[in-house]
Amino acid sequence: MEQPLRTSDFDYDLPESFIAQKPVEPRDHARLMVLDRATDTITHARFYELGRFLRAGDLLVVNETRVLPARLFGRKADTGGKVEVLLLRREAPQVWQALVRGRGLRPGRVLRFAEDLTAEVVADLGGPVRRLRFSRPLDDRLARLGQVPLPPYIRQPLDDPERYQTVFAREPGSAAAPTAGLHFTPRLIEALKAQGIGWATVTLHVGLDTFAPVKEEDPREHRMHTEWCRVPPETAERIRETKARGGRVVAVGTTTVRTLETAARAAAPGEVIAAWEGDTDLFILPGFEFRVVDALITNFHLPRSTLLMLVSAFAGRERILRAYEVAKAHGYRFFSFGDAMLIL
């Protein structure tokens, strides 16, 4: 009888010294662990060598979301107490879901961020998440008032905020970067295209689940918050063409995987994937049937996280945990600014 999944099955020990605090320069000089599922072998390389492991006719699919300067600092209008807000998702021009840090932030409380900008707490959405209604749209104020939010395990300030953006970031809307894409440079992208490797884009705006660890002992009880994503018609068509001629669809990052596999489930019978736009709460656990993704580029993920569960579903939990032990033995760097893995 098959044993039920437990969140503790996705735990591993990681000393803090392995957590990358700064990105590698240049971007494409990060290390690359290549995990081949067919041969159960591991190869060590650098990210700029990615083309060695791909073939003409393969298709790289990337998430072109752009991280908002979504961290705002303000004060309660009545008491002057400090407040920190991380914008997660825009629901309307002046209404946002946000993580808030501060006491007594009940509906009706007014927060002040600038002389001409306040926000009212209009709903408690559970835990530290609130719905805020701002006094005016934020579009022209975020660049001036906000900061790019780094994950809590990165404790060193970033000299250049653009290093927490991919070079192909186009669509503002994320609270965190799709970090597998941080390793690409314009030069590497051009070299891959010259090699006959295709390039296509999707968008998923990264939201709350980047900051929400799995706390339930049975991971199937974990509630995934929705994130908005889109597969454009031209990307769906390129994927269908790639599959038809025997090429591989290589997803760059777990956000791309979730976007593609969400769209696959909306496709008509007999269709690999269709253009799609909307909210996804797809939670990928071992046992999941992948319909689109043939290979995956990803970073090394936090213990007990939904992202580690996703890569375990793709490559096998025991194989991934063994690979992580090899990564530690070889001094790989973990998490957002860490090294990369290519799973074939």
d(CA 64, CA 280): 17
Task: Based on the fold, state whether residues 16 and 32 are members of the same structural domain.
Answer: yes
Mean of pLDDT values over 308-312? 97
Beta strands in 141-197 (DSSP E): 171-174
Q: Domain with 281 in it: what CATH number?
A: 3.40.1780.10
Last residue of a domain, one of 92, 119, 145: 145
Same domain membership, residue 252 and residue 138: no
Q: How far is CA 178 from the centre of its chain?
A: 4
The whole-model pTM stands at 0.94
Q: How many residues does the chain have?
A: 344
pLDDT(285) > 90: yes
Whether the predicted pLDDT of 2 surpasses 90 = no
Q: How far is it, in rounded angstroms, from Cα 185 to Cα 168? A: 9
Q: Is residue 152 part of a domain?
A: no
> What span, in angstroms and rounded, lies between the C-alpha atoms of 157 and 248?
38
| 61 and 121, same domain (yes or no) | no
Residue numbers of the domain that contains 290? 7-67+158-343
Place of tokens 């009888």: 1
- Whether residues 102 and 203 share a domain: the answer is no
Each residue's pLDDT tens digit, 101-135: 888 899 999 999 999 999 999 999 988 899 999 99
- Nearest-angstrom CA–CA distance, 341 and 308: 12
Residue range 250-259: average pLDDT?
98
Give residue-wise pLDDT tens across range 93-107: 999 999 998 888 999
Q: Of 79, 111, 145, which closes a domain?
A: 145
